[in-house]
Structure 1
Amino acid sequence: MGSLFKSEEAKARLSGWHTRFREHISAATEARSVETSFGKTHLLVGGAEDAPALVLLHGALASSAHALRELEGLLEHYRVYAVDIIGQSVMSADVRLPVDDSSYGRWLAEVFDRLGLERALVVGVSWGGFVAIRLAAYSPERVEKLALLVPAGMVKSPISSSWKMGWPMTKFMLAPSEKRLRGFWKKLLTTMDEEWVGYLGEAFTGFNLNMKVPALARAEELQRLEAPVFVLGADEDLSFPGEAVVARAAEIFPNLQKTRVVEGCRHCPPTTEAFRTSLASELREFFEGSAA
Structure 2
Amino acid sequence: MASLFKSEEARARLVAWHTRFRERIGSTTEAQRLKTSFGETHVLIGGPDGAPALVLLHGALASSAHALRELEGLLTHYRVYAIDIIGQSAMSADVRLAVSDDAYGRWLEEVFDRLELEKALVVGVSWGGFVAIRLAAHAPERIAKLALLVPAGMVKSPISSGWKMGWPMTKFVMAPSEKRLRSFLSRLLTTMDEEWVGYLGEAFTGFNLNMKVPALARVEELQRFNSPVFVLGADGDLSFPGEAVVARASELFQNLQKARVLEGSRHCPPTTEAFRTSLAAELHAFFDGEAS
For Structure 1 versus Structure 2, the TM-score category normalised by the shorter chain is: over 0.9
Query: In the alignment, what sits opposite 2:136?
Result: 136
Query: In the alignment, what sits opposite 1:117?
Result: 117
How far is the alpha carbon of 1:243 from its aligned partner? 0.2
Q: Is the CA contact 2:232–2:261 (under 8 Å) kept in the aligned structure 1?
A: yes
Superposition pairs of residues 249-288 of structure 1, within 5 angstroms? 249-288=249-288
Percent of paired sites with the same residue: 81
How far is the alpha carbon of 1:291 from its aligned partner? 8.2
Question: Could you list the per-position Cα deviations for residues 213-238 of structure 1 after superposition, in whole angstroms to 9, with x for gaps in the alignment?
Answer: 00000010001012100000000000
Q: Which runs of 5+ in 1 are unaligned?
A: none
How far is the alpha carbon of 1:290 from its aligned partner? 5.7
Distance 2:244 2:29 in 1: 36
Superposition pairs of residues 210-221 of structure 1, within 5 angstroms? 210-221=210-221
Superposition pairs of residues 101-250 of structure 1, within 5 angstroms? 101-250=101-250
Give the partner amino acid of 1:49.
D
What TM-score does the superposition give when structure 1 sets the normalisation length? 0.99
Query: In the alignment, what sits opposite 1:17?
Result: 17
Q: Is the CA contact 1:285–1:291 (under 8 Å) kept in the aligned structure 2?
A: no
Question: Could you list the per-position Cα deviations for residues 197-227 of structure 1 after superposition, in whole angstroms to 9, with x for gaps in the alignment?
Answer: 0000000000000231000000100010121
Distance 2:291 2:116 in 1: 29
Q: Is the CA contact 1:43–1:64 (under 8 Å) kept in the aligned structure 2?
A: yes
Runs (4 or more) in structure 1 with deviation over 2 Å come to: none
Q: Is the CA contact 2:73–2:280 (under 8 Å) kept in the aligned structure 1?
A: yes
Q: SS where residue 201 of structure 1 aligns? A: helix
Deviates more, 1:227-236 or 1:163-172: 163-172
How far is the alpha carbon of 1:71 from its aligned partner? 0.1
Distance 2:111 2:167 in 1: 38
Considering only aligned residues, what root-mean-square deviation do their CA atoms show, in Å? 0.8
Q: Is the CA contact 1:63–1:85 (under 8 Å) kept in the aligned structure 2?
A: yes
What TM-score does the superposition give when structure 2 sets the normalisation length? 0.99
Q: Is the CA contact 1:258–1:291 (under 8 Å) kept in the aligned structure 2?
A: no
Q: SS where residue 258 of structure 1 aligns? A: strand
Distance 1:189 1:175 in 2: 21
How many residue pairs get aligned? The number is: 292
Give the partner amino acid of 2:234.
A
Q: SS where residue 224 of structure 1 aligns? A: coil
How far is the alpha carbon of 1:247 from its aligned partner? 0.1
Q: SS where residue 123 of structure 1 aligns? A: strand
